[in-house]
Amino acid sequence: MPRFPETVKTTLLRIVSDMARNKKAFVRNPETDFTRYRMLDFENTVNFILCMGGQPINHELLDFFRYVAPLTPNASAFVQQMAKLRTEAFYYLFQKSNLSYPSQATDSGYRSIAVDGSDICSRRYLDAVIPPCHAKNEYRAFCDMVDRYPDERTASTIFIADRGFPTFNVFAHVMEKGSFFLIRSNDAGTNGLADKLPLPKEGAFDITFRIRLVRKLYIPARCGKAYQQIYSSGQE
């Protein structure tokens, strides 16, 4: 019986081979890109990117093409071929490979999804956001992943995030989806969410607050939908 890493590798190679038969959907110039015979054709270029380690590109190319020096492309040729690929090609590969390995729920019936898009229980990534370099925004990426999370799983999903993500806007996106969240907050006195609540100044405590959120305005640079706190009903 093949080991799991070998099974995953076989799955990826099969998907890339299928993509190569429809490569026009994954390149920038469908009529010209990867139309001539090259050692670095569409399939080899994608597979090489998946296999890259930490060596210089020329060394990686020699490893990939098994040290056939006269025929091995150089780093410049690889960069030119890589530039022909659309980022959507890798998102498609990511999504198709995930379909082969369904996520698992815990014994309690809940799925725990980390803010980086990984399923904590099955130890794999479920989603990814690939924004342009000039438009990177972790908050918006998290909200986008929540918004497009499969509806049939929302009621049994808990989104987990570290400090830096506890905003009312993020809470509202998860709540609108019908899911749950567990997000660590910054300490009081750090100009974070905890500063907006009447917390004790010292000692250990466990307090529940009820907070109503309403839609306030549309801010494209944040998460699409923005919310504000209306009131906290205090301690229960």
Could you read off the pLDDT of 180-196 as tens digits, one per residue?
Answer: 999 888 776 677 777 77
Backbone torsion region of residue 34, taken as left when φ is above 0, otherwise alpha when ψ lies between -120 and 50, otherwise beta = left
Provide the CA 228 distance to its chain's centre, in angstroms.
26
Confidence (pLDDT) at 226: 52
Average pLDDT taken over every residue of the chain: 82
Per cent of the chain over pLDDT 90 is 36
Give the residues across from 221 on adjacent strands.
none
Place of tokens 């049939």: 152
- The DSSP-derived string for 83-148 is TTB-HHHHHHHHHHHHHTS-----TTS-EEEETTSEETTTTEE-------GGG--HHHHHHHHHHT
Separation between Cα atoms, residue 87 and residue 83, nearest integer Å: 10
d(CA 44, CA 79): 13
Tens digits of residue pLDDT in 52-80: 988 999 999 999 998 776 778 999 999 99
Contact 101, 124 (CB under 8 A): yes
Of 207, 220, 222, the C-alpha closest to 168 is 222
Pair of tokens at residue 159: 């989104």
Which carries the bigger pLDDT value, residue 215 or residue 200? 200
Residue 71 near residue 65 (C-beta atoms within 8 A):
yes
Least confident of 81-95, 118-132, 214-228: 214-228
| Spatial contact of 159 and 174, defined as CB atoms under 8 Å apart | yes
Of 153, 146, 148, 152, the closest CA to residue 110 belongs to 153
Tell me what pLDDT residue 49 has.
96
Give the predicted TM-score (pTM) of the model.
0.70
Q: What is the DSSP string of 148-179?
A: TS-GGGGGGEEEEE-TT---HHHHHHHHHHT-
